[in-house]
Chains A and B, each alone.
Chain A
Amino acid sequence: MNKSLSALRMTAYASVVAAVGQTAFAGEINVIMEEVPDYDIVAKLTEEFTAANPDITVNFDAMPFDAMRDKILTSSLAPSASYDVIIIDNPWTEEFANAGYLEPLDDYIAATEGYDYEDFVPSLAAISSVGGSIYGVPYYNYALGLIVRQDIFDEKGLEIPTTIQDYMSTVASLTTDDFYGAAMQPQKGYKVMEEWKNWLYANGGELFDENGNVIINNPAAVTALEQYIETFNAAAPPNSANWGFDEALRAVSSGKAATMLSYNWMLPALNAEGGMAGDLAGNFTLHEVPGGKAVLGLWSWGITANSENKDDAWKFVSWISSPEVAKRRVSMGGAPVRTSVLNDPEVWEQGFGEAYYKALAGILEDAAPLSTGGNAEELIEIVGTELSAAVNGQKGVQEALDDAARGVERANR
């Protein structure tokens, strides 16, 4: 045990030392990114930025999601930053802003001509606004939508469900011995919370009321969880209580399930010719989640407070998120965050077609982030653990939600 405890500390120190060792030099900015398709597009576009700004070198450090949070932390704790530009997952925004890791961008935004900050979709831009200051500008959204096998719905003459009740009966009616109405993602933690919260919204629930009291165990939440479990038992594949994103996607793309609640940008990937769905490509459509209000995810660009190259960093961030480059990024397959881009017929044509962007605009109109506040990451884990326990029958619905409420209060004490 002594060994592992010292290992914990040593890892922290080693990371800080490594971070200091990587500090960027003048004219050089280091950018931490998550390895996702949107990153490849950004990296490609950035070649143009460096060609136009030969005095600025942009170094990307792309990595899996799991590695990002502590890398950002160690960089921010070091005397000078190893990352000048970071991408911020929405649950981290307030936590990092409160900790003083992020540079307020208000003055930069005001001083940048033609940036058109108001053009960002309001529900997305709102996430990065903490205590009256702007700490990030939207990079890409991962709002949830309902993805369905349109061919099956057409063949059976089914309407796209718009309420949770419709959704429950539709997916139950589609389920047979070897085909399932819904590929669900009840995996402990983030995934189950992300999926279930759409059900919570559909029932008018929330994590906190307007006075900040925890209401995650109120009757709306109980109904939402009961409906979620009922749907899981009636329409999801057997032994899928641990499924996350990958497994659900695989079930839908291999033709084993008719619907899934998932990231809107999965639609183009499913419909891509010669892609993961094989012969089924072209049969998938995207709709608003049943109930209408969707869980919103957002990555935004931020500049670290301890960066020594803030001006160059903003030059890059404002360039990559500018209306003109944002349009090209989305045309190349990126996830949109600007209203002008969502409504641009040229983007529809070069991108994934009018229907996708219209559906997405509808989703973004009424959507809210998974969790907010300084402890969002922790709250998601606490609630997500209790939800998983209820789905697996280890706890009753009310008991699990009561425990979740207690955990949330405890974490926020």
Chain B
Amino acid sequence: MHGNRSKGGDFFSVKRSKLILSDGVSFEGDVPSWQAEGQIGEVVFSTGMTGYTESLTDPSYSGQILVFTYPLIGNYGIDESSYESLRIYASGVVVDTLEHDWSHSKSTKSLLQWLKEQNVPIIFNVDTRALTKYLRTRGTTIGSIGKSAEKIASIKPFTKFVRLENPREFIKKGAKKVILVDCGSKENIVRSLSSMPISLKVVPYDYDYTESENYDGVFISNGPGDPQDYKQTIEIIKKALKIGKPVYGICLGSQLLALASGAKTYKMQFGNRGHNQPCIDLETKKCYITSQNHGYAVDDKSLPTNWKVIFRNLNDNSVEGIAHKTKPFYAVQFHPEACPGPTDTSFIFERFYKSL
């Protein structure tokens, strides 16, 4: 069993600080004394009880300060094999009890060491429940660890995610060719698709695969930010819909598909982030627990008549999945690839494969 012991020295020295929101409300906590004044981000909370490594490396969190509602974070250290991308994308972390001493056979470092290496600020010993309840009533808001309210009020932190400059052939295991549009894809979407006997090409959000590629299906990934900002991506999807080959989407991908179909999206008050979101398949009445991380949703009233809602959230009734009534266009708001979270809906990938 491995584990990290307190080594003493500066690494563990702390100072009092605050998480300051753009409306001036602040929440007290401690920060490492070596930590620079924090970056700005949209403050969002996730109710997942495990999976901090997966969440922090999920590109959908770029530009966001992530509050963990579970109060003990860092217990099992950091295991690189559970990264969902090459680095931490969240721009800050808020926790209650930060565990320095970790224990797991696969891990190599503590959460704090990792954050320090990647220069991502953290604030701990925060009343995260009070903060969560505030965000729930006030709605998602911009904030900063340590910076004053005036400085952050005017800043819009989000920029589109670009991981790939150019398209990349990923694997070639079969005749069917699949395009994965990478708007900030989690690694497990790539893993899930590449476990199938297909050829996979991963392309950036602005790459027009309808012009240059001879494909059998398109898969649009998750990603950060407001879907309406992805104008180019939407235009390309519109073309893909005309071509009529299967188009599937996850999370942001489902919102982009909705926008391409002519429907609208809206910003939710505080989004759904966690591993316990219950969804119902409206046709089979079968229910699933899903992993989610989104602040925008599809407006069901705006869906064109040849489209339908296929999944709904059992708690707030929001749209969790849409599909075309006759064509192979299908998208879900939740994360069938899990990581973090439950694996109930991994069948979505099989369904995609069968549609090819």
Do chains A and B interact in one complex?
no
Q: Which residues of B contact A (CB under 8 A)?
A: none
